[in-house]
């Protein structure tokens, strides 16, 4: 009996549908990805399709049926292996495979040692499409088509594939603006563009970085070193080493801007404890201090504080350059006898921290697995700040001393949601729900800092520590200018938007008694040299762009990643030079020297990062080239 014939590309269609469905079912059964709404579910459903259409579609150019079938079968096997590998890896690391991970033998070794325990019997499902494709190839007989039909069919096919990709990216961008430029979370990428496209994107990012790195030979360091040496600020002898030997505790104040300090909202004090701290005799409060982050947000602030370099323009260094050599503050503290760590009750892979922290010389990462999150203790992106601080102090008691740890808070994070029992003050009453809730979460953060100080005192750690607290980045964006204008009772201009980038900065040294409000214009790049000098650690030979704020030679000049800048006399924003005293535009020529300087400094920072120049840091060689 003669076999029935199927349309020419039936096996191709079966392969695409089979792999698409096994991939989607694999998503929902093997990966604990949080889906918040129907649109996210739809994006998760369609995101494998564009890649599968393109990769399987190459079979359309193969005239030989046997080769075409071998190719289709090979792709189904390859995609199944990719999904299976990610599933096994995810069970152990709660993360997706990246190229840097594959090249880090310690991580790969950990996975290999536990691979047996992480393979489940039902993982055979990942190869269901392979079985279906094999059966289709064996039993389905297809008809032939004419040359003209093949040509028209291929064109139409790839138009459809491109359309699916554009729809996927468009919907993803609507759900998460700047998704690909703010590629900080691998799970977020997989949820939106799919596992296969994510791996292609990861390959692109790493290849681009490695290509720039490959072109560098170290000769560029001499010019950068000359610039850094010319702008080095000698520490104030009265301040150098005043906290020598103490533990140093950094607190990254999530999304906290300076406009809430010493201010109220409809008669309610927003940050009463921090307000008291501004007048504390043991506290140096910096009221003219700016964040300098870009698209990397919190990860940028971490990078800047650690390295006194700028983040990358258009991406997060934590993601794009995690394989670089750095001269981070944590590494330097470790060389000086400190135990170094980060404490953050969130997923360890967020912002690629698990990989980047190793590059920064951080010895221990206390992530969400280090904390016990009880009922009612979670909000937004992780653990509420009050239980986070309480449990963190308990963890600090077990650390070798002296230690340096950086604590990253979470509650005051967009969208600024808060449980009713944690609302100490009422919401604001503007047209912006974001700003309305912001005051409540900022008040909660303030209360958490108060409790943190109390717990430190109870633990016995307080007196032998120095506490450095700083806002990591803005919380209220320019999209809420109308509401901010209502709160500040003024129309918000580009000048005001720059002023609103001020974030609070505190250095609290128990028992010092010489605290004051420091009005010196400064920014996050200055934290590294300032703190290291307070601890009595020299930084003269370090490749850093910031300067000690307490130094008489500190230059009052702040540069933003996007090219905006602030000096004692001017603010430059959106190609307009403003007089800082009046807030009004002034002659553009007044800002030109500062613009040139800003471009030079940003360029040097990019040169160091993109070329991975610190791997060439041989001081004798640099001096010879000078």
Which residues are tagged catalytic? 298
Instruction: Check if the beta carbon of residue 5 is closer than 8 Å to that of residue 141.
Output: yes
CA-CA distance, 517 to 530, in Å (whole number)? 16
CB 289 within 8 A of CB 502: yes
Sign, CA torsion 274/276/280/285 = positive
Task: Report the interhelical angle of 38-57 vs 65-93 (nearest 10°).
Answer: 140
Rg (C-alpha) for the chain, rounded Å, is 27
Contacts of 493 (CB under 8 A, 6+ apart): 583
Tokens of residue 191, six digits? 């949820």
* Rounded distance between C-alpha atoms, residue 198 and residue 102, angstroms: 15
Angle between helices 195-215 and 38-57 (to 10 degrees): 70
- Residue 422 tokens, joined: 């944690």
257 half-sphere exposure, CB direction, 13 A CA radius = 18
SS3 content of the chain, % helix, strand, coil (to 5): 50, 10, 35
Distance between CA 235 and CA 539 in Å, rounded?
A: 9
Is 221 strand, coil or helix?
Answer: helix
**CA atoms within a 13 Å half-sphere pointing along the CA-CB vector of 442:** 33
Question: How far is 84 from 23, CA to CA, in rounded Å?
Answer: 10
Three-state secondary structure of 289-325: EECCCCCCHHHHHHHHHHHCCCCCCCCCHHHHCCCCC
SS3 139: helix
Residue 153 to residues 5, 49, 149, 166, Cα–Cα distance (Å)? 19, 18, 6, 20
CB burial class (10 A; 0-12, 13-18, 19+) of residue 311?
A: buried
Give the DSSP H or E segment for 366: strand 364-366
DSSP code string of 503-520: --EEEE-TT----EEE--
Q: Is 469 helix (H, G, I), strand (E, B) or coil?
A: strand
What is the rounded distance in angstroms from the CA atom of residue 340 to the CA atom of residue 400?
9
User: How many whole angstroms separate alpha carbon 239 and alpha carbon 614?
Assistant: 29
């Amino acid at each position: 009996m003669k076999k029935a014939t199927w349309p020419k590309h039936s096996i191709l269609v079966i392969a695409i549908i089979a792999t698409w469905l096994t991939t989607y079912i694999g998503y929902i059964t093997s990966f604990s990805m949080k889906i918040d709404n129907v649109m996210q579910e739809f994006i998760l459903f369609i995101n494998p399709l564009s890649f599968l259409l393109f990769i399987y579609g190459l079979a359309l150019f193969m005239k030989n049926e046997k080769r075409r079938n071998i190719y289709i079968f090979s792709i189904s096997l390859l995609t199944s292996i990719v999904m299976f590998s990610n599933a096994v890896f995810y069970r152990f690391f709660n993360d997706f495979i990246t190229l840097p991970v594959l090249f880090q033998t310690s991580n790969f070794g950990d996975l290999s040692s536990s691979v047996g325990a992480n393979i489940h019997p039902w993982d055979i499902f990942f190869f269901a499409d392979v079985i279906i494709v094999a059966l289709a190839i064996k039993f389905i007989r297809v008809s032939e088509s004419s040359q003209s039909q093949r040509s028209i069919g291929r064109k139409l096919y790839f138009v459809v594939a491109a359309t699916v990709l554009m729809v996927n990216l468009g919907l993803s961008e609507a759900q998460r603006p700047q998704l690909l430029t703010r590629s900080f979370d691998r799970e977020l990428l997989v949820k939106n563009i799919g596992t296969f496209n994510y791996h292609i994107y990861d390959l692109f990012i790493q290849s681009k970085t490695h290509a720039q790195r490959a072109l560098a030979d170290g000769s560029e360091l001499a010019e950068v070193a000359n610039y850094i040496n010319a702008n080095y600020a000698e520490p104030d002898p009265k301040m150098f080493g005043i906290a020598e030997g103490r533990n140093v505790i950094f607190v990254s104040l999530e999304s906290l801007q300076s406009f809430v300090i010493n201010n109220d909202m409809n008669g309610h004090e927003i940050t009463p404890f921090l307000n008291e701290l501004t007048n504390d005799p043991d506290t140096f409060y910096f009221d003219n201090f700016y964040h300098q982050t870009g698209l990397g947000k919190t990860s940028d602030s971490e990078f800047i504080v650690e390295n006194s370099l700028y983040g990358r323009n258009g991406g997060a260094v934590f993601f794009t350059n995690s394989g670089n050599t750095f001269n981070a503050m944590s590494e330097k503290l470790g060389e000086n006898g400190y135990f170094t760590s980060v404490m953050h009750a969130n997923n360890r892979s967020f912002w690629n921290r698990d990989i980047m922290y190793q590059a920064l010389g951080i010895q221990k990462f206390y992530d969400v697995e280090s904390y016990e999150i009880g009922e009612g203790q979670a909000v937004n992106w992780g653990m509420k700040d009050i239980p986070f601080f309480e449990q963190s102090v308990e963890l600090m008691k077990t650390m070798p001393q002296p230690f340096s740890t950086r604590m990253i808070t979470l509650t005051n994070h967009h969208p600024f949601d808060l449980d009713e029992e944690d609302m100490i003050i009422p919401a604001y009453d503007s047209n912006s729900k974001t700003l309305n809730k912001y005051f409540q979460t900022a008040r909660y953060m303030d209360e958490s800092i108060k409790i943190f100080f109390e717990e430190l005192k109870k633990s016995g750690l307080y007196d032998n520590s120095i506490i450095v607290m700083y806002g990591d980045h803005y919380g209220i964006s320019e999209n809420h200018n109308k509401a901010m204008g209502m709160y500040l009772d003024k129309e918000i201009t580009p000048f005001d938007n720059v002023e609103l980038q001020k974030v609070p900065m505190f250095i609290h040294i128990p028992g010092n008694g010489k605290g004051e409000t420091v009005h010196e214009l400064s920014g996050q790049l200055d934290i590294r040299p300032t703190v290291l000098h307070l601890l009595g650690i020299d930084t003269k030979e370090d490749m850093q762009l910031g300067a000690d704020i307490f130094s008489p030679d500190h230059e009052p000049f702040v540069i933003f990643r996007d090219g905006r800048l602030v000096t004692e006399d001017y603010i430059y924003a959106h190609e307009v030079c403003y007089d800082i005293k009046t807030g009004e535009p002034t002659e553009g020529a007044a800002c030109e020297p500062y613009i040139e300087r800003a471009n030079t400094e940003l360029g040097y920072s990019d040169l160091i990062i993109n070329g991975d120049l610190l791997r060439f840091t041989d001081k004798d060689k640099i001096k010879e080239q000078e």
